[in-house]
Chain A
Amino acid sequence: MLRIPLFSRIVIIGLVVLGLAYAMPNLFYPRVESHNDAVRTIEVAGATPEAETARDGWPDWLPSTLVNLGLDLRGGASLLAEVQVGDVYADRMDGLWPEIRDSLRDLRDQIGGIRQVESAPDELRIRVQEPAGMAAALAAVRDIAQPVTSLTGAGSTDIEVRGEGDLLIVTLSEAERIATDDRTMQQSLEIVRRRVDEAGTREPSIQRQGGDRILIQVPGVGSAQEIKDLIGTTAQLTFNPVVGRTSDPDAQADAGDVVLPAADQEGVYYIIERAPVVGGEDLTDAQPSFDQNGRAAVSFRFNGPGARRFGDYTAENIGSPFAIVLDDEVISAPTIQDHIGSGSGIITGDFTVEESTNLAVLLRAGALPAEMVFLQERTIGPELGADSIEAGRIACIVAFIAVLAFMWASYGLFGLFANIALIINVGLIFGLLSVIGATLTLPGIAGIVLTIGMAVDANVLIFERIREELKTAKGPSRAIQLGYERALSAIIDANITTFLTAVILFVMGSGPVRGFAITLGLGILTSVFTAIWVTRLLVVIWFERRRPKTINV
């Protein structure tokens, strides 16, 4: 007999109501969106009359979940950046040099003099005067090595040291490289996020992709260039000892030194030590300010260790110049007048007020640990996005009406049941998309339209089966029951195979393709649910009331 226990009925109806409730806010998209924005603003910045009006535009007790619109629908820009993780190896090597130098100098009586020689940026080559003392030198450098602090690298040290003739070669270990890459990516992600957030755009999405890439998607910006301007500068600030000043860009610099141009004076170059005294990572604060002559400047403050190193260095080098270097340009090279023990100071240069404000923002957010190369960019104007939504909406409605009419003409009353299920089905897709926070893209809309066409499949399978069972004259109740039972295996097999392809699309695809995979996959789940349970419930309720002797499917 056709029976569905009361408990199952409540669960089915409950799920449908819940799904539709979460889908409902999407019908009032602009109002709910400004409500959600206002709630967030009030939380962060306190209440304003406008924010409160916007908030009260949508009642708090109603669900306020919305489908995220992808960039192709909302307009905005997306960038795929590759972080040059290798840059950091060179910085690490530069940072190691003073320490290694000091420890090898202590062995002067065994190994004689030492000198850094030119090498690839990710290794350190040191020529030792007395190769006989190499064993001692290797041991001394190995003492400097630190254990790697990562799960996979446990048990290994951060640097590897080997001797080749009179050369002592220091490289980063494999485990340390992996750990460093990971740290570089974490830092880059965090800094990109902070810089984009500082600009105040709404709901940017910043995700790591693969080993060394970052996907940045910012809705509402006019071009990818704007994002690049925001994050493209590394803002690497360092304070380095100055070796000399020259007008020759190709001036010969010793290993460990580097020639950098002055930012404000054409044709002036500084030879500076590559290893910085203090770096931007030791900054705790940076603010735009003015120097005593009223020119724009940036004031900064170091943390404890940074302040100590800066204090020690200035105490030892009174009278000699040091360079403030930003992204491989010397902003200024003042002479140290006095011991600076406070850990705070001021950077002057040829800044405009706007530049000093920007620089302060960049310094506050922190420097990018490595350069970023942009591999892919997409900009979509908001009008094109709005056009796409409009076209998609009309196509959806037309497809919907056509399919509804067609089902009704083919199956009569049962077709109407299937139609109710189809409407619920689309509602559930939107509800699920909203709840899991998925992003709707243009191909995603195509996925929904495709689902509208295919969702009736399960019902068609069932109805056709009921028709067949009716031919063998078992009575309507039995025919309906057998129809559902016997169509089930075809429904399950057919939908699992389609679902498999949706999963593969989701895993391997990216961006818009993934949006398509999500709606296709969700559409399969909801269409099986509505066909097997919702239409069945409708049919059973109808059957219980009418008790028809014959049915016409």
Chain B
Amino acid sequence: MRLKLVPDDTHFDFFRFSKLTLGASVLAMALSLAAFFAMGLNFGIDFLGGTTIRTESSQPVDVAVYRDAVSELGLGDISITEVFDPTFGPDENVAQLRIQAQEGVESIQQDTINAVEAALQEVDPSITFPQVESVGPEVSGELIQTAVLSVLAAIGAVLVYIWLRFEWQFALGAVAALVHDVTLTIGVFALLQIKFDLAIIAALLTIVGYSLNDTVVVFDRVRENLRKFKKRPLEEVLSVSINETMSRTAMTSLTTLIALIALFVLGGDVIRGFVFAMIWGILVGTYSSVFVASDILRMLGVKRDWSKKDGEAGTQFGGAEG
């Protein structure tokens, strides 16, 4: 007996509800943007500057007591959250303090960190500080810039690569899917107010890579089928291609999700946000390679004469199709 996620021969018409799916995608993107502008992202110190201190204690965390202890220091808004994780032992009580960047200070104020640590030690002598991070405002500004640039660079590189390997319509479809995925991921981070730091940018880029991986596999089959079925309408060719690659798409998405869910549950709280972004991205990316990338390709149309293999237009190289 074999495990089969997708029956052997499928003939779904993926574009029957294209108005609905496209509408849903546009709506989701609009909602994401609305959430982003209305609620904003919960930026970590990587992007805002400031200090985070992770505390660990054998005593239960009492946020109010912590707050009283540090509020006397006059450091402005300090956020304190208790961290829960199934991997923690019974005497691991963890909290996260976040101190905003102090007005007009470019460098790190060691005195500030020392004062906070001393104040906390007074209320709870068993407290330790397993992680202390400080980022100056100057660096955080640059980090934002680099982050935005790297996402744009990734999307740009992809656009050029697919354009070279396929046709410009494919590139546009793929990039539309990427923008869709990135927007929806940012939207979910705004909606759930999950901490958005440098690692999330890495996750975003991985989503870009993964979503693309999926899209390219579908497009590769589309290209092959366009050669095979010269007379069939584009919509049919697209649908056949998606059906043919569906079992692979399901397999790969599922194995990747299995691995990521293991990491999400067991990998500890430090990287949970990062893993969450990737899980979300893979769900969205799998959806978008069919319902956004292929749909846009269907609407843009594509040249139908793929008979000249070496293509005088010079838009292909190194295809390994026999």
Q: Do these two chains interact?
A: yes
Contact in complex: B255, A453 (CB < 8 Å): yes
Interface core residue of B139, B202, B248 (most chain A CB under 10 Å): B202
Q: Which segment, of A23-31, A245-253, A374-382, faces chain B?
A: A374-382
In-complex Cβ contact of B216 among A402, A410, A493 (8 A): A493
User: Is B41 among interface residues, defined by CB-CB distance under 8 A?
Assistant: no
Contact in complex: B320, A489 (CB < 8 Å): yes
State in angstroms the CA–CA spacing of A370 and B278 once bound together.
Answer: 44
Contact in complex: B213, A495 (CB < 8 Å): yes
User: Is B161 among interface residues, defined by CB-CB distance under 8 A?
Assistant: yes
Known contacts A446-B275, A490-B216; A512 and B198 CB within 8 A of each other: yes
Contact with A along B1-24 (1 / 0, CB 8 A): 011110000000000000000000
Contact in complex: B266, A443 (CB < 8 Å): no
User: Is A40 among interface residues, defined by CB-CB distance under 8 A?
Assistant: no
State in angstroms the CA–CA spacing of A500 and B155 once bound together.
Answer: 10
State in angstroms the CA–CA spacing of A495 and B257 once bound together.
Answer: 18
Contact in complex: A464, B251 (CB < 8 Å): yes
Contact in complex: B251, A410 (CB < 8 Å): yes
State in angstroms the CA–CA spacing of A148 and B133 once bound together.
Answer: 41
Give chain A interface residues in 432-490, CB to chain B under 8 Å: 442-443, 445-446, 449-450, 452-454, 456-457, 460-461, 464, 468, 482, 485-486, 488-490
- Identify 13 new A-B residue pairs, CB closer than 8 A, beyond the known A403-B258, A443-B202, A446-B278: A375-B135, A376-B134, A381-B128, A398-B266, A446-B275, A449-B262, A449-B263, A450-B278, A488-B320, A494-B216, A500-B154, A500-B209, A502-B209
**Closest-CB distance, A496 to chain B (whole angstroms):** 7
Contact in complex: A442, B262 (CB < 8 Å): no
Residues of A that sit less than 8 Å from B by CB: 72, 80, 223-225, 228, 373-381, 383-384, 387-388, 391-392, 394-395, 398-399, 402-403, 406-407, 409-412, 442-443, 445-446, 449-450, 452-454, 456-457, 460-461, 464, 468, 482, 485-486, 488-490, 492-498, 500-502, 504-505, 508-513, 516-517, 520, 552
Question: What are the 7 closest A-B residue pairs judged by CB atoms, nearest first?
Answer: A453-B256, A453-B259, A381-B130, A391-B268, A501-B209, A399-B259, A498-B209
Q: Which residues of B contact A443 (CB under 8 A)?
A: 199, 202, 271, 274
Contact in complex: B131, A379 (CB < 8 Å): yes
* A contact patch SS: helix
Contact in complex: A517, B202 (CB < 8 Å): yes
State in angstroms the CA–CA spacing of A489 and B224 once bound together.
Answer: 10
User: Is B118 among interface residues, defined by CB-CB distance under 8 A?
Assistant: no
Closest residue of chain B to A210 (Cβ to Cβ) is: B142
Q: Which residues of A contact B3 (CB under 8 A)?
A: 406, 409-410
Contact in complex: A446, B266 (CB < 8 Å): no
Contact in complex: A464, B248 (CB < 8 Å): yes
Interface core residue of B149, B198, B220 (most chain A CB under 10 Å): B220
**Closest-CB distance, B243 to chain A (whole angstroms):** 11
State in angstroms the CA–CA spacing of A387 and B89 once bound together.
Answer: 11
In-complex Cβ contact of B267 among A228, A395, A409, A412 (8 A): A395
Q: Which residues of A contact B258 (CB under 8 A)?
A: 399, 402-403, 406, 453
User: Is B254 among interface residues, defined by CB-CB distance under 8 A?
Assistant: yes
Contact in complex: A374, B108 (CB < 8 Å): yes
In-complex Cβ contact of A498 among B201, B210, B244 (8 A): B210
State in angstroms the CA–CA spacing of A411 and B5 once bound together.
Answer: 12
Known contacts A497-B213, A498-B213, A509-B150; A375 and B158 CB within 8 A of each other: no
Known contacts A376-B136, A501-B205; A381 and B129 CB within 8 A of each other: yes
User: Is B314 among interface residues, defined by CB-CB distance under 8 A?
Assistant: no
User: Is B122 among interface residues, defined by CB-CB distance under 8 A?
Assistant: no
In-complex Cβ contact of B130 among A380, A394, A445 (8 A): A380
Q: Which residues of B contact A398 (CB under 8 A)?
A: 262, 266
Give chain B interface residues in 192-236, CB to chain A under 8 Å: 198-199, 201-202, 205-206, 208-210, 212-214, 216-217, 219-221, 224
In-complex Cβ contact of A392 among B106, B208, B220, B267 (8 A): B267
* B contact patch SS: helix
Contact in complex: B251, A375 (CB < 8 Å): no
Give chain B interface residues in 145-184, CB to chain A under 8 Å: 146, 149-150, 153-154, 157-158, 161-162, 165
Contact in complex: A453, B257 (CB < 8 Å): yes
Known contacts A446-B275, A489-B220, A509-B150; A384 and B54 CB within 8 A of each other: yes
Closest residue of chain B to A378 (Cβ to Cβ) is: B133
**Closest-CB distance, A247 to chain B (whole angstroms):** 29
**Closest-CB distance, A455 to chain B (whole angstroms):** 9
State in angstroms the CA–CA spacing of A404 and B320 once bound together.
Answer: 29
Q: Which residues of A contact B271 (CB under 8 A)?
A: 388, 442-443, 446
Known contacts A384-B131, A395-B266; A489 and B259 CB within 8 A of each other: no
User: Is B91 among interface residues, defined by CB-CB distance under 8 A?
Assistant: no
State in angstroms the CA–CA spacing of A383 and B130 once bound together.
Answer: 7
Contact in complex: B213, A485 (CB < 8 Å): no
User: Is B247 among interface residues, defined by CB-CB distance under 8 A?
Assistant: yes
Contact in complex: B205, A449 (CB < 8 Å): no
**Closest-CB distance, A404 to chain B (whole angstroms):** 10
Contact in complex: B262, A375 (CB < 8 Å): no
State in angstroms the CA–CA spacing of A409 and B254 once bound together.
Answer: 13
User: Is B322 among interface residues, defined by CB-CB distance under 8 A?
Assistant: yes
State in angstroms the CA–CA spacing of A486 and B131 once bound together.
Answer: 50
Contact in complex: A375, B213 (CB < 8 Å): no
User: Is B126 among interface residues, defined by CB-CB distance under 8 A?
Assistant: no
State in angstroms the CA–CA spacing of A341 and B248 once bound together.
Answer: 84
Closest residue of chain A to B150 (Cβ to Cβ) is: A508
Contact in complex: A497, B262 (CB < 8 Å): no
Q: Which residues of B contact A410 (CB under 8 A)?
A: 2-5, 251
Known contacts A388-B268, A454-B252; A482 and B150 CB within 8 A of each other: no
State in angstroms the CA–CA spacing of A375 and B105 once bound together.
Answer: 10
Q: Which residues of B contact A380 (CB under 8 A)?
A: 130-131
What are 19 A-B contacts with C-beta separation under 8 Å?
Answer: A224-B110, A380-B130, A381-B128, A381-B129, A381-B131, A392-B267, A392-B268, A410-B5, A411-B2, A446-B275, A468-B244, A482-B322, A493-B216, A493-B219, A497-B161, A504-B157, A505-B154, A513-B199, A513-B201
Closest residue of chain B to A72 (Cβ to Cβ) is: B270
Q: Which residues of B contact A502 (CB under 8 A)?
A: 209
**Closest-CB distance, B174 to chain A (whole angstroms):** 8
In-complex Cβ contact of A442 among B107, B198, B270 (8 A): B270
Q: Which residues of A contact B4 (CB under 8 A)?
A: 410
Contact with A along B265-283 (1 / 0, CB 8 A): 1111011001100100000
Contact in complex: B2, A409 (CB < 8 Å): yes
User: Is B321 among interface residues, defined by CB-CB distance under 8 A?
Assistant: yes
**Closest-CB distance, A326 to chain B (whole angstroms):** 21
**Closest-CB distance, B192 to chain A (whole angstroms):** 20
User: Is B319 among interface residues, defined by CB-CB distance under 8 A?
Assistant: yes
User: Is B132 among interface residues, defined by CB-CB distance under 8 A?
Assistant: yes
Closest residue of chain B to A408 (Cβ to Cβ) is: B3
